Chains A and B, each alone.
Chain A
Amino acid sequence: MTAATASTKATTSAPDPADSSTATTVEFRALSKSFGATVALDGLDLTARPGELLALLGPSGCGKTTALRMLAGFERPDSGQVLVDGQDISGVPAHRRDAGMVFQSYSLFPHLTAADNVAFGLKMRRTGAAERRKRAHELLELVGLPQHADRFPHQLSGGQQQRVALARALALRPKVLLLDEPLSALDAKVRVTLREEIRRLQQELRITTVFVTHDQEEALSTADRVAVMRDGRLEQVAAPAELYDTPATAFVAEFVGTMNRLPGVMADGDVEVLGQRLPVRGAAPAQGPVDVLVRPEALEATADGEGRSRVLTAAFHGSVTRLTLSLPDGATVKADVPSHRAATLPAGATVTVTLPQRPVLVDGPTA
């Protein structure tokens, strides 16, 4: 499936935010950018709908941050347009773009208190001191830090600093909120809490938000839709569940979640794998060997004294246990089984591995 078709599919399937009447649409249109010989963006077409949280997900160097920086006004596109509510803002300087941004590194102004940081934008707009103070305290309350108004950045923890940065980004009531990996410098526990907080605020304020991250879990758990990028291009944009369940390409399938590659053979449009014949989803060669892409939870492992596969290891993950299985042809795969069933599948047990009779994604001829 191409990016364009993926986008169309996602557009029809993702839920709309509750109220998008006053929210903003952001559109990247044929956006290209190179840094010397390195192509950062290669004709990116992508739309963030009014009031949605759109995550840009991809490996390092895929162009997600460049796209965000172009929306913020910190980079100029070589070609293409950035549109906000249909208006091309490519030539508008960053300080007139009406976009609040939270950065990856702690970006609070070290010489100002939390309240002064939040009020900085209002000061730039020449808002009166009393109004600034009122708004700063409102926003600090919104992010749960009213008691830290007088603290300087060095007196705040990383999570608190990012909360203040979020309040600062919202102070001017921007049309768009830009989040450039705001959680990546935080420890795991704070990261989870803060991403839930960001989501809550975003939904409460119904502000169109573009969230750059390389953490798939973060993207899937926070965003209305996730745009997966690779080499400056859009690979697929879809709602998290759709992206996980029906990835458009092998890259998306393997980048989002864990994916097994099982050896299979194409035959008359179907694929033969693990002794089963299954229909194929998406593009596939007509004949020959292929890799069949299957999620661990889609593999069914059943204890069978005469089974030809063997359990190598069993790792407890709470509600599920992840088994590492050795298949008859020597390939190793992962399979998730409910933990209450895992007792019957200890390491060394022989099992039979099957797949549900559903269309599967295949990838190229096997080397």
Chain B
Amino acid sequence: MSAPSTGKPAPRLPLERPRKLYTLANPRKSLSLTIVTGLFALYCIVPMLWLVINATKSQQDFVSSFGLGFGGHFALWDNVAQVFTFQDGIFSRWLLNTVLYVVIGAVVSTFLAALGGYALAKHDFVGRRAFLLIVLGSISVPGIALAIPQFLLFAQLGITNTPWAVLIPSFINPFGLYLMWVFSDQAVPTGLIEAARIDGAGELRIFLRIAFPLLAPATVTVLLFSFVSIWNNYFLPLIMLKDPAWYPLTIGINQWNKLGSTAGNGELIQNLVITGSLLMIIPLIVAFLSLQRYWQSGLSMGAIKD
């Protein structure tokens, strides 16, 4: 890893006066910093180029052409059309399921994490330390070992093989809770809360109207993480769902992939697996881009002075 160390610009020499603010409105761009960061970006992007390039290949070209080169003919649109028509167009259904799971799951889990994280940071109550330890301890238990007990519990309640079996666990985002707690602690000035209380605002109103807006960058981060992790959630739906009509995309695409490696009447459709995967990340990119503007600092309003 050579990139990171140069992330901090070298100290300025004293003769360079007057000093400028690089972090504010009109920073001077640095070419060398861009290049070094670019190297890391290259590491991130080259494997993804593979994905994009190979989504343009037919199955036949896929097994016979070089991985980072194009195939005999450009089959991207064929592949996309096939993805949406294969197995009576079940891909669309999986896509809709995934959107359902992701939107509900991410919104609910982020809100619960914000509510809980804020309470942990700004409210005092008995057993807070124990609570933190229990949450940390629980998520340290490998999920694989919990899958069967979770299944049996959900089966008792009769919700296996229904969307609830995927949704309910996705409402819990312990990492989001921790992030929200850390960020609440930093970004929500206690003075502001105190002032609101003096003005007679209720606690929920303080959270919704004052704290929550201040937590925007953290909320966006947690929302994105929830979004992605639910989008890519594999193991739990695999255990919980047996009806393809409720599968999320990950299960469906994995199943397609396995079709080609099961002795018997499997069909080798790597081209569809790859194109399907590419299609899968497009909504994530869209989500990411549309959340861009919330990256602004929550405290820049300068509303508080103590």
The reply to whether chain A is a binding partner of chain B is no
| Chain B residues in the interface with A (C-beta under 8 A) | none
| B-binding residues in A (CB < 8 A) | none
